[in-house]
Amino acid sequence: MNAMRIDRRSFLVSTAVVSGGMALGITSAEGAPTVPWGPDMASGAEFSAWIEIAPDDTVTVRVPTPECGNGAMSQAAMNVAEELQCDWSKVQVAFASIRRDFDEKGSYQTGFLSFFSGHSTGKQRLKTTLQLGASARERLKAAAAARWQVPASEITAANSVLSHASGKKLRYGQVAAEAAKIVLPKEPALKPQGEWTLLGKKSPPKLNIPEIASGKAVYGLDVKLPGMVHAALMQCPVHGGKLKSHDASAVMKMPGVRAVVVIDPAKTPGSPVKAQSTFGFGDSLCQWGIAVIADHYWQAKKALAALPVEWDMGGGAKWQDAEAIYSAAKALRDKGPGRDLKKTGDIATATGKRIVDGDYGTPYAENAALEPLNTTALVTADSAEVWTNTQDMAQAFWVAVDETGLAPGKVNMHQTFMGGAFGRRGQGDDLRMAVAVAKAYPGKPVKVIWSREECFRQGRYRTPVFTKMHAVLDDTTGLPQAMTADIGYVGSRPGFHLPLGFSDQPYFNSGVIPNLHLTSSALPVNVLSGAFRAPCFNSHAFVLETFVDECAVAAGIDSLEYRLKLLASWDKSWSDCLKLAAEKSGWGQKLPKGEGIGIAISCWPVANVRKNGTVVAAAVRVAITPEGVLMVKQIDTAFDCGRVANPDAVRAQIEGATLFGLNVALNEELTVKDGAIVEGNFDEYPISHMADVPPINVHFGALSGHERLEIIGEAPVGPVQPALGNAIYSAIGKRLRRTPIRKADLSWS
C-alpha cells in the first residue's frame, strides 16, 4: 500500500469529539464498547484511532504493536511526543483495537502494521507516529489561533502549553475539543533528526512499569470476567497424534468440575471470508486435545490429571530419541547438495593446503516465556470475545475467526499484558486451542491455561540446525579461498528454515571469499517448530562464528585480526564493533591458565545489504577450573543499529538478549522420547539465575550514526554464543561444536 495515501487519509479526516477531548484519526463506525473491561479502550466512548487528548492534558496514544517487554508501546508514544511537544509525564499508552481496524478498513494496519516484536523505530512506523504527533500539534496551534485571532505561525507549542508573544497561554487540553474539528490544509513537515529533543536524548522508563511493580498490570492470565470458568488443557503428547478414548465420568463428580471437552482438529470450521492473517494458519492448526472445565483452575488441573485418557500417538512415536531425529537430518544432508542458498565462483579451483572442517549442531529449545500460554474466550452462537496476550493481534483476530467460523464483524479481541513471548505468541495456536475449548462450552467466558508442563511439551520449538562446514585457506593470506556449508534443518515448516545469520552475513556477500557453495536440506518430523528469538539466526551465528574462529586458528592468525581482515571491505562499523568489544574485554592480555576471551560478530535481521540491521560484537571472558567448572566472568558488547531512540531501553534490551543467548548456549536442550518432548518444567530445563549472571558491559562507541534506528532485541542473542565457545577454546583448547555447553566435559590438566 502507498503509505502517503494512507497517511493523508488518516490525518485529514475530521473526527468526532469525545467528552471535550480531542480525537485524532478517523471516525469509528463502532459505538460504545460491548464489554466493561479491556485495555484497548481508553474510555467508555472511544472514537479516535490514534491519539486522544483529554481536558486535563492527558495524551493517550493507541498502539497496535503489543508490549512484550521491549518497550514497543512506550517507544511509539515517545515518537508521537517528540513532535507533539507535550509534557511526557502526561502521556499514556493503550492497546489499539483490531476489531476497530477491521471495521474502519485499516486504521492501524497500513503504515503501522501490527506485526509483533515492537518495531516502533522501523522507518515507516517512526514516520507515521512522528507525523501523528506533528499533525496534532499543528491542529492545536490552529485552534488556539482561532481563539486568539492571531496567525497560527505566531504560536509556539511546548510542554503541553500553547503560547503567543502577547503573553496568552492555553494548555493543550483546553483547546483539544476545538482542535479535533480542524482539518489542516496540508500535513506539517517533520523536524530533522538533529532537532529531536526527546528521541535519542532522553531515556524515560517504560510507561507501564508502575502497574507492573504494583501488581495491577493485567496479563492474559489475570483476566477476570463475570461468570468466568477455568479450563486445564492437555494435547496429545506426541504432536500429530489423536485422542483414542477417555472416561469423563471418572472426573465429573470431582469438586467444581463442569465439563470435559474434546478438541478435534477436524472441527475447525474455517474463516467464512478470505482471512488477512499475518502468517497464514499453517502454524496455528488445532492439535488433538482434551480439557477439563471447572469453577477454578486448581480443580480443573486436578481433574485433568485424574482423567483416564488414551492416545493414538501416531507416526511421530517412531522417533526413539532426539539423536535419532538429528542423525536422520544429518543423513539427509549427507546425501548430496540440497537447496542452493548461495553459489559463487567454483569451489574446485581452490588450491590451498590448509583445510578446515567442522560439524556443528544446536538442539531443540523452548521459548519458556514466564507467563504460561493462556487465553480467555467467550463464544456464543453468533459472537466471540477473546482476551489474549498475542504478539500479533492481526494474526490472533483471524485465528479466532477461523476457529469460530464467525464473520469477522462478530469477533472482538482484547490485548492484555504479555509475560514474555520470544516468538511463541506469534502464530496463535495457543489462542486457537482456547477458542476451541470455549466453543465447546458456549455462553460462559472460559479461561484456558496451559500448565507449564503443557507449554514445554506442546511448544513450537527452536529449529534444530546441523551444519557441516568446509574451508580451503589461501596459503599466503590464510583467508578462505573456498567455503562450503551444508545445513540440515529439522522440521516440516519451511517458514522456520531461515538462512538469516548465515548466507546473508558479509563473509558471503562482500566478495572476500571468492568461491562459495552454501546448501540446505530439511527433515520433516512430527515435532512442531516455530519462531524462537531471532529464528535460526540464534543457531547460525553459533555455527558461522565458531567456524571462522577455527579458520583463524588454522591460519595461525589472531581471531580478532582474522575477522578484521575478512570484514575489511564491509561497513566500517563491523570493524569498529569488533575492536571496541575486544578492547574493553582486555583482548590481547596475558591470561592465567584456564582463562580465555572469545569474540564473535553477527547482524540481524538482514546483513547482505550495507548499513542495515543491528550489528553486535560480543567478547566473552571465561575462567575454567581443571575440574571443568565454567565461570563466565565478563561480557562486553559493542553494537551498531545506526542511531538509538532511547539509550537506556537499548541498553536493557542488549543486556537481556545477551543473557538469553548465553542461557541458550550454556543450558538449553529439549530431548525426545518416542516422539514426545521429555522436559516439562524448569527443574529439567535450567534458566540462569541471579548468581549465574556475569557483568555485562554495553558499549555505545561503535554506533555509526547512520539514520536508521534498527531493532535491537534479537541481534545480541547470536554472537554471545560463539563468543562463549571461542573463549572456552582459548582457555583450554577444547572446541565446542554443539550446544548446550553444560553437557560438555571442560576438564583440563
Partner 1 sequence: MSKITLRVNGKAQSVDADGDTPLLWVLRDHLGMTGTKYGCGVAQCGACTVHLNGEAVRSCQVPLDGLAGANITTIEGLAAKGGAKLQALWHELNVPQCGYCQAGMLMAAADLLKKKPKPSDADIDEAMTNICRCGTYPRVKAAIKRAAGVAA
Q: Which is nearer to partner 1, 52 or 371 (CB)?
A: 371
Among 4, 209, 355, 629, binds partner 1 (CB under 8 A): 209
Q: Please check whether residue 544 is in contact with residue 602, taking contact to mean a CB–CB distance below 8 angstroms.
A: yes
- Cβ proximity to partner 1, 218 vs 554, nearer residue: 218
The gap between the terminal CA atoms of the chain, to the nearest Å, is 64
The DSSP output letter for 265 is G
**All residues at 6 or more sequence positions from 94 whose CB lies less than 8 Å from its CB, including other chains:** 39, 40, 41, 42, 60, 61, 62, 63
Question: Which of 274, 336, 689, 749 contacts partner 1 by CB under 8 A?
Answer: 689
**Count of residues touching partner 1 (by CB under 8 A):** 64
Interaction between residue 217 and partner 1 (CB under 8 A): yes
Is 212 among the residues that bind partner 1 (CB under 8 A)? yes
The answer to whether 593 contacts partner 1 (rule: CB under 8 A) is: no
Q: What would the grid cell of residue 575 be? A: 570493524
Which grid cell sits at 549? 574462529
**349 belongs to the binding site for partner 1 (CB under 8 A):** no
- For the chain, helix, strand, coil in percent to 5 are 30, 25, 45
* CA-to-CA separations, 668 to 324, 661, 684, in angstroms, rounded: 19, 10, 10
Residue 647 makes CB contacts below 8 A (sequence gap 6+) with 200, 203, 700
Residues 626 and 748 sit within 8 Å (Cβ to Cβ): yes
Q: Are 185 and 352 in contact (CB under 8 A)?
A: no
Q: What is the dihedral of CA 418, 419, 425, 429, to 10 degrees?
A: -100
Question: At closest approach, how far in Å is the CB of 203 from partner 1?
Answer: 8
Residue 652 engages partner 1 in binding (rule: CB under 8 A): yes
Q: Does residue number 210 form part of the binding site for partner 1 (CB under 8 A)?
A: yes
Rg for the chain, CA atoms, rounded: 27
- Binder among 2, 214, 589, 749 for partner 1 (CB under 8 A): 214
The single residue among 115, 172, 326, 422 that binds partner 1, judged by CB under 8 A, is 422
Between 30 and 211, whose beta carbon lies closer to partner 1? 211
Work out the burial of residue 274: count CB atoms within 10 Å of its CB; fewer than 13 is exposed, 13-18 middle, 19 or more buried.
exposed
Comparing CB distances to partner 1, the nearer of 145 and 696 is 696
Compute the least distance from the CB of residue 215 to partner 1, in Å: 2
Q: Which residues, 6+ apart, have CB-to-CB distance to 503 below 8 Å?
A: 341, 342, 518, 608
Q: Is 271 in the site for partner 1 (CB under 8 A)?
A: no
How far apart are the C-alpha atoms of 695 and 145, rounded to whole Å? 55
201 is a site residue for partner 1 (CB under 8 A): no
Residues 6+ apart with CB under 8 A from 260: 246, 248, 251, 252, 290, 291, 292, 293, 303, 307
Tell me which residue of 662, 68, 67 sits closest to 422, measured CA to CA.
Answer: 68
Instruction: Fill in the per-residue mask, 221 to 250: x = in contact with partner 1 (CB under 8 A), - = not in contact.
Output: xx-x-----x--------------------
- Residue number with CB closer to partner 1 (277 or 375): 375
Question: Please, which residue, 72 or 516, has the CB nearer to partner 1?
Answer: 72
How many CA atoms within 13 Å lie on the side-chain side of 238? 23
Residue 657 touches partner 1, criterion: CB under 8 A:
yes
Q: How far is the CB of 8 from partner 1 (least distance, A)?
A: 36
Give CA–CA dist 662/670, Å, rounded.
16
315 lies in the site for partner 1, by CB under 8 A = no
Q: Does 299 bind partner 1 (CB under 8 A)?
A: yes
CB-based contact 437:231 (threshold 8 Å)? yes
Task: Identify the residue among 245, 690, 705, 745 touching partner 1 (CB under 8 A).
Answer: 690
Q: Decide whether 230 or 579 has the Cβ nearer to partner 1.
A: 230
Task: Select from 44, 205, 269, 626 the one that contacts partner 1 (CB under 8 A).
Answer: 205
Of residues 656, 674, 734, 735, which one binds partner 1 by CB under 8 A?
A: 656
Work out how close the CB of 649 gets to partner 1 at its nearest, in angstroms, rounded to a whole number. Answer: 7
Residues 67-96 binding partner 1 (CB under 8 A) are 67-70
The smaller minimum CB distance to partner 1, of residues 201 and 224, is found at 224
- Residue 584 interacting with partner 1 (CB under 8 A): no
The yes or no reply on residue 252 touching partner 1 (CB under 8 A) is no
Which one of 104-112, 245-253, 418-426, 434-442 is the stretch in contact with partner 1 (CB under 8 A)? 418-426
Residues between 710 and 729 that touch partner 1 (CB under 8 A): none
Burial class (CB in 10 A: 0-12, 13-18, 19+), 227: exposed
696 touches partner 1 (CB under 8 A): yes
Q: Find where cell 556443528 sits.
A: 360
- Rounded CA gap, 88 and 77, in Å? 9
Residues 430-449 that bind partner 1 (CB under 8 A): 449
The CB-of-617 to partner 1 minimum distance in angstroms stands at: 19
Which is nearer to partner 1, 355 or 631 (by Cβ)?
631
Query: What is the contact mask toward partner 1 in residues 520 to 539, using x (rule: CB under 8 A)?
Result: --------------------
64-72, 242-250, 257-265, 428-436 -> range binding partner 1 (CB under 8 A): 64-72
Contact 278, 391 (CB under 8 A): no
Q: How would you classify the pairing of strands 480-490 and 229-235?
A: unpaired
Q: Side chain identity at 357, as an amino acid letter?
A: D
372 lines the binding site for partner 1 (CB under 8 A): yes
Q: Among residues 431, 531, 632, 659, which is the contact residue for partner 1, using CB under 8 A?
A: 659
Q: Does residue 683 bind partner 1 (CB under 8 A)?
A: yes
> Which residue's CB is nearer to partner 1, number 103 or number 295?
295
> Is there binding between residue 649 and partner 1 (CB under 8 A)?
yes
Which of 451/721 has CB closer to partner 1? 451
Minimum Å gap between C-beta 666 and partner 1 is 13
Q: Which is nearer to partner 1, 503 or 653 (CB)?
A: 653
Q: Is 634 in the site for partner 1 (CB under 8 A)?
A: no
Smallest gap from Cβ 717 to partner 1, in A, equals 10
Cβ count near 129 (within 10 Å): 28
* CB contact set of 636 (below 8 Å; sequence gap of 6+): 581, 582, 584, 585, 618, 619, 697, 699
Cα torsion 494, 495, 497, 503 to 10°: value is 120
Is 195 a binder of partner 1 (CB under 8 A)? no
Kindly tell me which of 209 and 568 has the beta carbon lying closer to partner 1. Answer: 209
On whether the CB atoms of residues 648 and 203 are closer than 8 A, the answer is yes
Q: Rule CB under 8 A: is residue 742 a binding residue for partner 1?
A: no
Q: Up-side HSE of residue 369: CA atoms within 13 Å toward CB?
A: 29
Window 446-475: contact mask with partner 1 (x via CB under 8 A): ---x-xx-----------------------
- The reply on whether position 693 binds partner 1 by CB under 8 A is yes
Q: How far apart are CA 88 and CA 199, in angstroms?
A: 12
Q: What is the nearest approach in angstroms of partner 1 to the Cβ of residue 356?
A: 34
User: CB of 195 within 8 A of CB of 19?
Assistant: no
Nearest-approach distance from CB 648 to partner 1, in angstroms = 6
Q: CB of 584 within 8 A of CB of 638?
A: yes
Q: Which residues bind partner 1 (CB under 8 A)?
A: 67-70, 203, 205-206, 208-210, 212-219, 221-222, 224, 230, 255-256, 296-299, 302, 368-372, 417-422, 449, 451-452, 648-649, 652-653, 655-660, 681-683, 687-691, 693, 695-696
